[in-house]
Amino acid sequence: MAINFTTKLTLLSLLALALLILPSHCYTRREEEEDKSPEGILIECFTRCSREQPSEGRSTDCERKCVVRYKQQKEEQQEERRRGGGGEEHNRRDPEQRFRECQSRCEAEQGERKQHCQQRCRQQFEKERREQRGEGNRREREEEGEDERQESQNPYYFESKRFDTKFKNQEGHIKVLERFSKRSELLQGIDNDRVAFLEANPQTIILPHHADAEAVFAIVRGKGTINYIWKNQRLSFNLKRGDVIRVPAGSIGYLINNDNEEKLYALNFLRPINTPGKYEAFYGVGGENPESFFNVFSNEILEAAFKSPRKDVKRLFGQQNKGVIIKASEEQIRALSQESESSRGRRGGENWGPINLFEQRPLSKNEYGQHLEASPEQHEQLKDLDLSVGFVNIKKGAMTAPYYNSRSTKLVFVVRGRGRFEMACPHLSSSSKREQNGDTHYEKASADLSVGDLFVFPAGHPIAIVAHKDSDLELVSFGIRGSNNQKYFLAGRDSVWEKVQAEAKELSFRLPAKEVEEILRRQGESQFLAGPNLQKQEREGRFVGSILDFAGF
Ligand code: CU
C-alpha cells in the first residue's frame, strides 16, 4: 500500500492528537501491555510530545502529563518492591544501567534543572561504583582471610604461642604445649601425650625433680649433662645437639647447661602415668620457689624423718626462692658435668645412653633433604613407649614428595627455618557436605611454619612439607606408635603407584594406562624434591642457559 508523505504526516498528527485528547490511562494501558519500565515509557512519551512539534505551551503540557504518569508508575513499582518483589532486581542491575535510566529521566527537565539532574545522576553513579569496588575488595580480603582462617581452624597446627609457660625466670623457661583435646576432639587419640620445651642459659642447672610421666628429651641446640637416679645409682650422660635421652617416670633428674656461651634448648615428650594428659613435676628440694613438697608434712613428721630439730628443718626448706633454673659457678658446673662411672651408657645391661639422631641410618636422603630416625625397634629406650624420634632437614626451596605414614602419628616441631605444610584430612569436612553425596570429602589443613611451631601429622593423612625459598627447614618429630611404621610416597620415583598394576590405574583414573604411567613417571626424584619455587627457578635458569648457549657464551 503506497501512502504518500503528506498522508503519513496527517495520520501521525491525528494519532498524536487522539492520544492527547484521550485520558492518559487510555494510552498508558497499551504501553503497560508491552511491559516496559517506567523510564522507557517516559522516554517514549517525551518522544511523542516532541514528534508532535507543538507550540511551546502545548509541548510542556504534554511532557507534564508524561511526568505525572511516570511518577505514578514509579510509586506503584516502589510499592510492589516494598511488598517483597523486585528488590533484588534493583540490586542486580548494574550502576551503568541505572545511570542511563537516571539520565533519561533528566530529559524531562530543562536548562539549569536538567544540568542539576544530570549531575545528581553522575554523583549517584560514582558512589555506586565506589561501593561496588569496595565490595569487590572486601571479597578479595575475605578470600585472603580464608587462608588465615584455614590456619586458625586447622586443629593440627599449633603456633609457638600455644605453648603455655609453666615456669620462667631470668635463667630460662619451661613451656608446655596445650592439651591436644583442648584444641580438637580429632586429637583425642593422642591426648595422653604432652610436649614441653625448655630453654636454659649458659652455666645453669634445672633443679632435681621427678615427674609422674615417662619422658624423652631431644636436644635441639646447645649441650649439657643430664643426671638421674635409677635404682640407687646415678646415671649421667653428656648431651649434644641431636641427642635423644629417655628419663624413666619417677626418677629424680637434673639437667645442666655446661656451655659458657650457648643456651640449651630441649624438646621434651611426656607420657603421663597417673592421669591421662596430665603430669606434674615434684620438687623435694627447694623451699618457697620451687615449693618443696616437704612443706605439706607436719613438723612432727619432718623432725622424725630427718631426726633434726624444727629450726633446722625450717631452715632447710626455707631458703630457696630463685625458681627452678639456677645459675651455678664454673666450679659447680664442672663437677656437675662429670659422667658417673656407673652410667657409661649402661642400665642393667641395656644401653640407655643418648641416641644421636645424626648418627641414625637415614630413612631417605638426597640433595633436597634427609630424614633420620631413631626407631623403637632399634632402641631399647624407646621400645615400651613405642616412640620414634626423627629429624628432617628440607633444603631451601625443596619439598617432601606427598606421603603418609602407615600407623605412626607424628608430633612435628620446627627447630629451624620456615616453611609450609599442606595435608588432606577427611575429618575436617562438615558433616552436611559429606551427607550430600555420601562420599568422602577432603579439606585442606595447611599452615605456614616458623621456629617453635608444632604440627600433628596423623597416620594415613597425605602431607607435603615445603621449605621456604630462603631457608632450610629443620624439624624434630616424636612418632607415636613408632614401630612397624611405613612411609608411603604418593609421587616421585618410588611412589606406591609404581607397585599398582597398570590395569588398576587405568580403571582408577579413567585414562589409558600408558598416559597415566607417563605422567606418574615424570618426577624422576624421590622422597625429597625440588619445591614449586625451585622448579620455577630451574625452568627459568634453563631458559636463560639456552639463550646464552644460543648466543655462543
Ligand atoms: Cu583427618
Residue-level pLDDT at 391 = 97
> Ligand 1: distance of its center to the CA of 491 in Å?
20
Residue 78 in grid coordinates? 516502589
Q: What is the pLDDT of residues 272-323, one digit of tens each?
A: 999 999 999 999 888 888 989 998 999 999 999 999 999 998 889 888 888 9
> Ligand 1: distance of its center to the CA of 390 in Å?
22
Q: What is the pLDDT of residues 441-481, one digit of tens each?
A: 899 999 999 999 999 999 999 999 999 999 999 999 999 99
The model's confidence at residue 490, banded by pLDDT at 50, 70 and 90, is: very high
β-strand partners of 287: 291
> Ligand 1: distance of its center to the CA of 529 in Å?
25
User: What is the C-alpha R_g of the chain?
Assistant: 40
Residue-level pLDDT at 24 = 40
> Ligand 1: distance of its center to the CA of 461 in Å?
7
Cell 494501558 locates to 29
Which of 215, 219, 178, 214 shows the shortest CA–CA distance to 200? 219
> Ligand 1: distance of its center to the CA of 426 in Å?
5
Residue-level pLDDT at 425 = 93
The torsion region of residue 129 among left (phi > 0), alpha (psi -120 to 50) and beta comes to alpha
β-strand partners of 459: none
Residue 477, helix vs strand vs coil: strand
What does the pLDDT average to over 120-139? 67
> Ligand 1: distance of its center to the CA of 255 in Å?
38
Which of 393, 424, 399, 414 shows the shortest CA–CA distance to 492? 399
> Ligand 1: distance of its center to the CA of 271 in Å?
23
> Ligand 1: distance of its center to the CA of 460 in Å?
8
Cα(478)–Cα(493) distance, rounded to whole angstroms? 27
Q: What is the pLDDT of residues 413-424, one digit of tens each?
A: 999 999 999 999
- Alpha-helical runs (H) found in 22-55: 24-33, 38-51
> Ligand 1: distance of its center to the CA of 422 in Å?
12
Which of 224, 188, 191, 196 shows the shortest CA–CA distance to 452? 196
> Ligand 1: distance of its center to the CA of 397 in Å?
27
Residue 345 in grid coordinates? 651408657
The model's confidence at residue 389, banded by pLDDT at 50, 70 and 90, is: very high
> Ligand 1: distance of its center to the CA of 442 in Å?
8
Note whether 249 and 172 are within 8 A (CB): no
Q: What are residue 487's phi and psi, to 5 degrees?
A: -90, 125
Length of the chain, please? 553
> Ligand 1: distance of its center to the CA of 423 in Å?
9
Percent of the chain with pLDDT over 90: 52
Q: What are residue 25's phi and psi, to 5 degrees?
A: -65, -20
> Ligand 1: distance of its center to the CA of 456 in Å?
10
From residue 484, how far is each of 246, 359, 386, 497 by CA, in Å?
20, 20, 10, 21
Give the CA count within 13 Å in the CB-facing half-sphere of 520.
Answer: 22
> Ligand 1: distance of its center to the CA of 464 in Å?
15
Which of 412, 391, 408 shows the shortest CA–CA distance to 483? 408
> Ligand 1: distance of its center to the CA of 520 in Å?
25
> Ligand 1: distance of its center to the CA of 438 in Å?
17
> Ligand 1: distance of its center to the CA of 377 in Å?
27
> Ligand 1: distance of its center to the CA of 193 in Å?
19
Is this model's pTM higher than 0.85 or not? no
Cα(140)–Cα(400) distance, rounded to whole angstroms? 31
> Ligand 1: distance of its center to the CA of 184 in Å?
11
Cα(478)–Cα(215) distance, rounded to whole angstroms? 12
Cis status of the peptide bond prior to 23, with omega within 30 of 0: no
The model's confidence at residue 230, banded by pLDDT at 50, 70 and 90, is: confident
Residue-level pLDDT at 218 = 97
> Ligand 1: distance of its center to the CA of 480 in Å?
16
Residues whose CB falls within 8 Å of the CB of residue 231, separated by 6 or more in sequence, listed in order:
348
Indicate the burial class of 546 (C-beta count within 10 angstroms; 0-12, 13-18, 19 or more).
exposed
From residue 516, how far is each of 512, 519, 526 by CA, in Å?
6, 5, 18
> Ligand 1: distance of its center to the CA of 421 in Å?
14
Cα(73)–Cα(382) distance, rounded to whole angstroms? 84
Q: What is the pLDDT of residues 65-114, one digit of tens each?
A: 777 787 778 777 776 666 554 444 444 457 778 888 888 888 887 777 88
β-strand partners of 528: 400
> Ligand 1: distance of its center to the CA of 428 in Å?
6
> Ligand 1: distance of its center to the CA of 531 in Å?
24
What does the pLDDT average to over 201-207? 96
Question: If you average pLDDT over every residue of the chain, what do you get?
Answer: 82
Residue-level pLDDT at 343 = 56
Which of 288, 290, 35 shows the shortest CA–CA distance to 171? 290
How distant is the alpha carbon of residue 265 from its chain centre?
A: 26
CB-based burial, 24-36: b 16+ in 10 Å, e otherwise: eeebbeebeeeee
DSSP conformational letter for 261? S
Cα(257)–Cα(106) distance, rounded to whole angstroms? 85
Residues whose CB falls within 8 Å of the CB of residue 525, separated by 6 or more in sequence, listed in order:
366, 368, 401, 492, 493
> Ligand 1: distance of its center to the CA of 425 in Å?
4
The amino acid at residue 251 is S
| Position with higher pLDDT, 114 vs 381 | 381
